[in-house]
Amino acid sequence: MFDTLAYLPSPGYAPGISTTYGTPPHENGKLLIETNITGRVLKGEPHGLFNSAVIAEEDVELVLRSIFAFADALFNYIDPYHRHVRFLYNALLIDIGYRVLEREPRERHGYTLSSIDNSPVTIYQTPRIVSLDDLHDPRTEIDYFMARLRRALQERH
């Protein structure tokens, strides 16, 4: 059975993505990947507000590409004959807080912060089906994920 993971992060935890892949309900197995989005690459001044106020869309996309690449490599390794060709997938973002999502953000003197709502942002209400082809070339899935993320964050304001 596939479950969406939700958990309470420890204080000070950076915004991150928690992604689960599961096989259809008649099969057993689950892959859970948790990773941070921000703080991977220092942008702007070391002690400026930029790194704590903004989540760059490019950083989210980079993390998603590495998650899909890892899942692709893992499933090709553990199932070389491709018995499993479809997977259930969901993701949530945690600890977003007051940060805003921006494409190609630039350092500036002031930032408009969103309201502080630290509840997890679940991207899909029900798990989404992805194929081995989607894992191998996730561009369409990443574009869809980003559209859903933008919409979910707009609804929070």
Share of the chain above pLDDT 90, in %: 21
Q: Is residue 8 part of a domain?
A: no
**Residue 137 neighbours by CB distance under 10 Å:** 12
Q: Is 100 left (phi over 0), alpha (psi -120 to 50) or beta?
A: beta
pLDDT of residue 11: 34
4 lies in some domain: no
Beta bridge partners of 91: 19
Domain span holding position 56: 16-156
Indicate whether 6 belongs to any domain.
no
Arithmetic mean of pLDDT over the chain: 76
pLDDT tens per residue across span 29-38: 678 888 888 7
Contact 111, 154 (CB under 8 A): no
Confidence of residue 145 (pLDDT cuts 50, 70, 90): very high
Beta carbons within 8 Å of 2's beta carbon, 6+ residues apart: 20, 22, 23, 25, 30, 88, 90, 127
Residue 3 confidence (pLDDT): 30
Q: Residue 37 domain-assigned?
A: yes
Q: What is the C-alpha separation between 15 and 49, in angstroms, rounded? A: 15
Helix axes 57-78, 139-156, angle to 10 degrees: 130
Q: Check pLDDT > 60 for residue 96.
A: yes
Query: Does 131 reside within a domain?
Result: yes
Cα Rg of the chain, angstroms: 16
CA-to-CA distance for 68 and 46, rounded, in angstroms? 30
Number of independent structural domains in the chain: 1
Mean pLDDT score, 74-91? 86
Question: Band of the pLDDT at 95, cuts 50, 70, 90?
Answer: confident
Confidence of residue 1 (pLDDT cuts 50, 70, 90): very low
Report the pLDDT averaged over residues 81-93. Answer: 86
Identify whether 148 is part of a domain.
Answer: yes
> Residue for token digits 């600890």?
95
Provide the 10 A C-beta neighbour count for residue 64. 21
Between 62 and 38, the higher pLDDT residue? 62
Would you say residue 43 has pLDDT above 90? no
